[in-house]
């Protein structure tokens, strides 16, 4: 079959040439349309349900909102995980679906169940709604609106928030790819009716009467129309309040025939809604800004480009003295990551081309093989677009140009070998066609099977699911598509071009090439002679090296993937439990100032405290995410790397802001961890149980033990208890005595302190709530609750303390659940140590020293969970792939013995990979695992090339096995060295790179380079020895 394809290609050069040209043009167009990002989006398939109920405590949120919704959605088909967080005023439920369930179908199913829960959740407790369709990579652009110098006092936080909500946010809406703009910080403007309780008593008015008056006197209506003189006159009644004066003039009732107005018992003013979040900047002041969320599946680069263009337009129309300043811009990371990949690929390509020219002995032949690289890449870009694979660090990070040209190298080298044997200055066209057909046909079968084996070894990666599948499948798909394209080109384009371009290469000799190859062979040949003389010793040495590598591997730690250096730093900063929002703001400003003063590498720091307008991240008011923009690493003076910088920053925060805790991570990493595992830490230890106090006590015991473990940088126990509360416990008998009801009292309590929205005021297109609450001076102490006036059924007034016991208590700060069971998280940050070994130490420590009550148990999540799941899948998929390789080898050689001989290349190649990781101090990771997989394919390919030629010599009549081996290795030395050299040198820039994103590529490249060194040596030494041993035994038997 291969011979027919080669024959067709050579005799139809124009058709093949036009076809390749057409595919290249298509590839160029596809490249311009290809989605680009820094890394794949690994967020699982999830639907988030948000319910905001500002007046409810965590217990009520769990009982009345979270639990009913969880029960309804628990039976949805395809749900693999349910996580929830219930805290003051907010319920967040995350439903994780199987990956094959379409997102909009999942949302529809959840929406149907939410509809069914409406009757179970009281109407005034909030309405559940679905969060925007976004992911861990969704926070693509974050900004603040800040006054320019000289305008700092011109705009209040309320002004800035109004500008954000009604100018910036509205104009950003509609950018392709943007699903939501979540405002953060400042004060949401309200028209506030601030009640004086003393005036209520004096005028015999209740809070309920004020609310009713405002609701009944603030509306417009229509009276249809009347016709007169051929005209229709529409009737419009305007009763809407338009100003503070309008609200103050609303009548509550008549007292002694005199109207009692709102302004008589309350102060009407511009106020703000109760807030559960804030934003700070650079330790200077509070700020106002927003997070731009991207639609799941949208093109990051194009979306950010659209956002920036719109921001530039908005900037021109902002009020005087204001500017929009970005503090998180994903373009920065995308550009860095793509620059790293491009640099590594270009440098790798140049090295491969130089190696090809040097070792092939022909500039023309070297450039011909090198031309396969851009052609393959362009066609691969087209296929990536067809299969919806974005260009990113992972999808392009495993591409090695050496792998792509391996088969082409074998074909061209075979043609050159035949040409050099004939030594003709020029060959006629028809003879050249025949020579190329014959030469290529002899070697292409082995080369194609070798290429197919490389494809097969990537099958285990395609079997990965979940987070690890989303991370590494694009890589496997891209490499597989590229290799497939390269295989097709080696059967079509390369023979066609060889027949056209190499006719005059027979008499040419690139002497430096021969010198290099001859020099390498002169070093290798004595080693081979000794190996053939000491056959058993050679095999035993290889076996011992394998045992040593297995021992080293067993003691090597493990991590999911190396941490990608995003360039910026994120800090999960927390104040003591129960801290107020103002206290957290002060502490955050203090922390920002301390960092800015001590580290000149910091460009700016923005702190996001508590929850935003769209609270997908349910942070308490005592928690702040500090986003630190850093200068380029080349400008750092305080530390040489990120780990040292983090240690020094942590020390400064500990000294300057005592009593707080800080866990260092990176913006995208933190968001991914949170959305995937429900916690921001890299390692998450979970304790599952019922009682919150027990969970907290056991978690604190674990914390003390975990802190002692080497490599643990920080330990953060989720705060479930210890929230200060003012408990109002109603006395039902007294309520009955005064002719009241719990509903009445709840409404009074809620309206007085939280505020009750009773209407809306429009300022042109802007709309603001009208809220009723007690004046601020009556909302700052427990005594204000106790003395709150209540109008009884007979018209008299009593204090709230007459019908309720009002005291300080400690209550739950947050109630977290996994699969409807309560749990507590212990987040562990690590430094200079791998995930797997730390988790092993944690398990050994806490599971033996911390005794859990009956029914309680430990669980582990985060990066460790992803690593374990990936390992389990690979433990099943890898043996199947190896079996397929063996079957393919058997089909190639029709010999179990020869197949097993070549199969030894797999464990022998692993020796160098393991030693390379060990020497560079790298733990095993899935990235390194991908390297081993790629390595196995190339190692087997070299074995096929050598053994295939030895079998050919046997058929040609070389009966002496030693002579056959000597001839075979001499002829095949160049192609074996070349395939190994181009594959390993192609990865060299990746292995040595220090730029953004290189952390992920380094283990992969290190394994391939180290493995190919050992694989090539062992293929050229151990394989000939095994061949001699088995062939001799066979001949002796015969």
Vertex 975 angle, CA 972 and 976, to 5° = 80
Of 432 and 874, the one with more pLDDT: 432
Whole-angstrom CA distances from 465 to 43, 396, 473 are 12, 20, 9
d(CA 323, CA 330): 20
Burial degree of 1029 (CB within 10 A; 0-12, 13-18, 19+): middle
Vertex 807 angle, CA 802 and 809, to 5° = 155
With bands split at pLDDT 50, 70 and 90, how would you rate the model's confidence at 506? Answer: low
| φ, ψ (nearest 5 deg) of residue 985 | -65, -30
d(CA 978, CA 959): 28
Read off the DSSP letter of residue 28: H
d(CA 623, CA 618): 10
d(CA 111, CA 79): 14
Whole-angstrom CA distances from 691 to 527, 687, 852, 854, 856 are 70, 11, 12, 12, 10
Residue-level pLDDT at 689? 92
Whole-angstrom CA distances from 247 to 207, 216, 230, 236 are 15, 12, 39, 20
Question: Per-residue pLDDT averaged across 605-625, rounded?
Answer: 85
**CB 460, CB 480: distance < 8 Å:** no
d(CA 645, CA 608): 22
Structure token digits, residue 936: 């196995």
Least confident of 112-116, 144-148, 278-282, 1032-1036: 1032-1036
Whole-angstrom CA distances from 416 to 358, 422, 439, 502 are 14, 10, 9, 8
d(CA 446, CA 892): 7
Q: How far is CA 526 from the centre of its chain?
A: 52
Structure token digits, residue 1032: 């001799």
Q: Is the pLDDT score of 846 beyond 80?
A: yes
Whole-angstrom CA distances from 938 to 131, 485, 560, 646 are 47, 17, 25, 40
| 3-state secondary structure at position 912 | helix
Q: What is the DSSP string of 641-664?
A: SHHHHHHHHHHHHHHHSTT-EEEE
Give which of 235, 233, 232 is closest to 222, Cα–Cα.
Answer: 235
| 3-state secondary structure at position 16 | helix
Question: What's 426-489 look like in SS3?
Answer: CCCHHHHHHHHHHHHHHHHHHHHHHHHHHHHHCHHHHCCCHHHHHHHHHHHHHHHHHHHHHHHH
Of 1033 and 305, the one with more pLDDT: 305
Give which of 670, 669, 673, 650 is closest to 660, Cα–Cα.
Answer: 650
Going 293 to 297 to 298 to 304, the CA torsion angle's sign is positive
> Which tens digits make up the pLDDT trace of 150-205?
898 899 999 999 999 999 999 999 899 999 999 999 999 999 999 999 898 888 89
Structure token digits, residue 256: 């002694």
Residue-level pLDDT at 48? 92
Q: How far is CA 995 from the centre of its chain?
A: 19
> Which tens digits make up the pLDDT trace of 727-747?
999 999 999 999 999 988 998
Vertex 535 angle, CA 530 and 537, to 5° = 90
Q: Where are the beta strands (DSSP E) in 812-900?
A: 814-818, 821-830, 857-862
d(CA 53, CA 127): 8
Residue 843 exposure: Cα atoms within 13 Å on the Cβ side: 12
Residue-level pLDDT at 879? 83
Q: Is the pLDDT score of 1035 beyond 70?
A: no
Of 438 and 658, the one with more pLDDT: 658
d(CA 412, CA 510): 15
Going 828 to 833 to 834 to 836, the CA torsion angle's sign is negative
Give the max Cα distance, the chain. 128
d(CA 561, CA 568): 19
Q: What is the DSSP string of 375-395?
A: HHHHHHHHHHHHTT--BSTTT
Residue-level pLDDT at 1038? 45
Question: Per-residue pLDDT averaged across 752-763, rounded?
Answer: 90
Read off the DSSP letter of residue 362: -
> Which tens digits make up the pLDDT trace of 317-347?
899 999 999 988 888 888 888 888 888 888 8
d(CA 417, CA 282): 68
> Which tens digits make up the pLDDT trace of 27-38?
999 988 888 887
Q: How far is CA 318 from the centre of its chain?
A: 34
Report H helices in 43-131. Answer: 58-61, 67-73, 103-117
Q: Is the pLDDT score of 1033 beyond 60?
A: no
Provide CB contacts within 8 A for 421, sequence distance 6+.
none
d(CA 435, CA 7): 11
Provide CB contacts within 8 A for 545, sequence distance 6+.
911, 1014
**761 bridge partner residues:** 768
H helix or E strand, kind and range, residue 955: helix 926-955
With bands split at pLDDT 50, 70 and 90, how would you rate the model's confidence at 1037? Answer: very low
Q: Where are the beta strands (DSSP E) in 133-211?
A: 139-147, 178-184, 189-195
H helix or E strand, kind and range, residue 255: strand 251-255
Burial degree of 705 (CB within 10 A; 0-12, 13-18, 19+): middle
Whole-angstrom CA distances from 60 to 120, 284, 809, 951 are 13, 37, 16, 79
> Which tens digits make up the pLDDT trace of 705-718?
999 898 888 888 88
Give which of 409, 492, 304 is closest to 983, Cα–Cα.
Answer: 409
Least confident of 214-218, 440-444, 577-581: 440-444
d(CA 102, CA 77): 12
Q: List for the chain the helix, strand, coil content (%; round to 5).
A: 55, 20, 25
Structure token digits, residue 674: 């949170």
Least confident of 273-282, 523-532, 870-879: 870-879
**CB 826, CB 706: distance < 8 Å:** yes
Q: Is the pLDDT score of 212 beyond 80?
A: yes
Residue-level pLDDT at 509? 58
H helix or E strand, kind and range, residue 617: none
d(CA 324, CA 310): 11
H helix or E strand, kind and range, residue 772: strand 766-774
> Which tens digits make up the pLDDT trace of 792-810?
888 888 999 999 999 999 8
d(CA 640, CA 634): 9
Pairing of strands 322-329, 602-610: unpaired
Counted residue by residue, the chain has a size of: 1038
Vertex 128 angle, CA 125 and 132, to 5° = 140
Q: Is the pLDDT score of 971 beyond 70?
A: yes
With bands split at pLDDT 50, 70 and 90, how would you rate the model's confidence at 611? Answer: confident
Domains recognised in the chain with CATH numbers: 1-33+361-509 (1.20.1640.10), 44-134 (3.30.70.1430), 189-220+235-272+724-811 (3.30.2090.10), 510-555+895-1038 (1.20.1640.10), 568-665 (3.30.70.1430)
């Amino acid at each position: 079959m291969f011979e027919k394809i080669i024959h067709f290609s050579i005799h139809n050069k124009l058709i093949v040439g036009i076809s390749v040209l057409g595919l290249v043009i298509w590839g160029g167009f596809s490249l311009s349309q290809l989605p680009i990002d820094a890394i794949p989006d690994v967020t699982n398939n999830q639907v988030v349900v948000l319910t905001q109920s500002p007046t409810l405590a965590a217990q009520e949120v769990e009982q009345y909102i979270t639990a009913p919704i969880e029960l309804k959605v628990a039976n949805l088909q395809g749900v693999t995980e349910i996580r929830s967080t219930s805290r003051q005023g907010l319920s967040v439920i995350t439903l994780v679906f199987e990956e094959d369930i379409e997102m909009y179908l999942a949302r529809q199913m959840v929406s149907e169940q939410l509809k069914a829960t409406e009757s179970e959740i009281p109407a005034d407790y909030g309405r559940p709604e679905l969060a925007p369709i976004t992911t861990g990579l969704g926070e693509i652009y974050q900004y603040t609106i800040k006054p320019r110098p000289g305008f700092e006092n011109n705009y209040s936080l309320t002004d800035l928030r109004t500008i954000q909500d009604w100018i910036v946010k509205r104009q950003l809406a509609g950018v392709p790819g943007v699903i939501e703009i979540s405002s953060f910080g400042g004060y949401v403007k309200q028209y506030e009716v601030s009640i004086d309780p003393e005036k209520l008593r004096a005028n015999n008015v209740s809070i309920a009467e004020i609310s009713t008056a405002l609701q009944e006197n603030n509306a417009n209506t229509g009276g249809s129309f009347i016709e007169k003189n051929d005209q229709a006159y529409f009737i419009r009644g305007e009763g809407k309040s338009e100003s503070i004066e309008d609200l103050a003039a609303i009548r509550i009732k008549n007292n002694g025939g005199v109207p009692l107005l709102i302004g008589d018992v309350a102060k009407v003013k511009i106020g703000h809604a109760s807030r559960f979040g804030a934003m700070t900047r650079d330790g200077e002041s509070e700020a106002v800004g927003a997070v731009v969320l991207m639609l799941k599946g949208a093109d990051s680069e194009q979306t950010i480009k659209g956002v920036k263009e719109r921001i530039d337009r908005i900037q021109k129309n902002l009020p005087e003295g204001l500017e929009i300043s970005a503090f998180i811009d994903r373009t920065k990371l995308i550009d860095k990551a793509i620059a790293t990949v491009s640099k590594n690929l270009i440098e790798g390509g140049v090295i491969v081309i130089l190696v090809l020219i040097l070792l092939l002995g022909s500039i023309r032949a070297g450039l011909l093989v090198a031309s396969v690289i851009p052609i393959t890449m362009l066609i691969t870009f087209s296929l990536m677009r067809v299969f919806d694979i974005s260009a990113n660090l992972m999808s392009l990070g495993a591409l090695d140009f050496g792998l792509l040209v391996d088969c082409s190298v074998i074909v061209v080298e075979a043609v050159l070998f035949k040409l050099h044997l004939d030594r003709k200055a020029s060959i006629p066209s028809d003879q050249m066609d025949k020579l190329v057909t014959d030469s290529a046909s002899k070697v292409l079968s082995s080369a194609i099977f070798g290429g197919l084996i490389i494809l097969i070894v990537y099958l285990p990666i395609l079997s990965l699911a979940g987070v690890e599948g989303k991370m590494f499948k694009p890589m496997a798909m891209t490499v597989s598509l590229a290799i497939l394209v390269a295989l097709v080109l080696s059967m079509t384009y390369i023979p066609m071009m060889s027949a056209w371009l190499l006719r005059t290469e027979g008499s040419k000799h690139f002497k430096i090439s021969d010198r290099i190859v001859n020099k390498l062979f002169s070093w290798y040949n004595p080693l081979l002679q000794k190996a053939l003389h000491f056959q058993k010793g050679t095999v035993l040495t290889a076996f011992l090296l394998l045992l040593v590598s297995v021992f080293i591997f067993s003691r090597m730690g493990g991590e999911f993937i190396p941490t990608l250096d995003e360039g910026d730093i994120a800090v999960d900063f927390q104040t003591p439990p129960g801290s107020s929002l103002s206290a957290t703001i002060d502490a955050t400003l203090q922390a920002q100032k301390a960092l800015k003063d001590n580290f000149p590498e910091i460009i700016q720091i923005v702190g996001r405290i508590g929850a935003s307008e769209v609270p997908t991240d349910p942070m308490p008011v005592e928690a702040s995410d500090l986003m630190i923009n850093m200068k380029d690493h080349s400008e750092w003076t305080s530390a040489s790397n990120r780990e040292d910088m983090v240690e020094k920053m942590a020390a400064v925060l500990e000294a300057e802001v005592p009593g707080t805790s800080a866990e260092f991570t990176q913006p995208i990493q933190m968001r991914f961890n949170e959305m995937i595992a429900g916690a921001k830490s890299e390692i998450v230890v979970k304790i599952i149980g019922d009682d919150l106090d027990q969970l907290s006590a056991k978690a604190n015991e674990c914390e003390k033990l975990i802190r002692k473990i080497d490599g643990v940088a920080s330990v953060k126990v989720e705060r479930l208890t210890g929230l200060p509360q003012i408990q109002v416990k109603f006395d039902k008998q007294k309520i009955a005595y005064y002719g009241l009801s719990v509903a009445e009292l709840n409404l009074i309590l809620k309206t007085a302190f939280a505020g009750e929205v009773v209407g809306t005021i429009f300022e042109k297109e802007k709309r603001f709530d009208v809220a009723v609450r007690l004046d601020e001076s009556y909302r700052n102490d427990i005594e204000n609750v106790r003395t709150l006036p209540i109008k009884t059924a007979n018209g008299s007034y009593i204090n709230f303390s007459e019908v309720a016991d009002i005291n300080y208590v400690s209550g739950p700060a947050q109630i977290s659940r996994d699969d409807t069971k309560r749990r507590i998280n212990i987040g562990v940050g690590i430094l200079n140590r791998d995930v797997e070994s730390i988790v092993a130490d944690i398990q050994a420590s806490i599971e033996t020293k911390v005794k859990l009550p009956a029914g309680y148990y430990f669980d582990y999540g985060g990066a460790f969970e992803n690593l374990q799941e990936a390992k389990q899948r690979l433990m099943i998929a890898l043996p199947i792939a190896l079996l397929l390789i063996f079957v393919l080898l058997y089909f190639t050689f029709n010999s179990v013995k020869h197949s097993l001989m070549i199969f030894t290349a797999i464990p022998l190649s692993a020796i160098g990979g393991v030693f390379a990781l060990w020497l560079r101090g790298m733990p095993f990771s899935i990235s390194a695992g991908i390297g081993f997989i790629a390595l196995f394919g190339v190692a087997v390919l070299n074995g096929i090339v050598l053994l295939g030629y030895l079998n050919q010599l046997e058929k040609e009549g070389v009966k002496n096995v030693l002579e056959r081996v000597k001839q075979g290795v001499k002829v095949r030395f160049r192609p074996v060295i070349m395939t190994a050299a181009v594959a390993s040198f192609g990865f060299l820039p990746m292995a040595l790179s220090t730029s953004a994103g290189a952390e992920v590529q380094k283990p992969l490249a290190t394994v391939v380079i180290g493995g190919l060194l050992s694989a090539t040596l062992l293929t050229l030494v151990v394989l000939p020895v095994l061949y001699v041993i088995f062939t001799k035994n066979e001949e002796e038997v015969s």
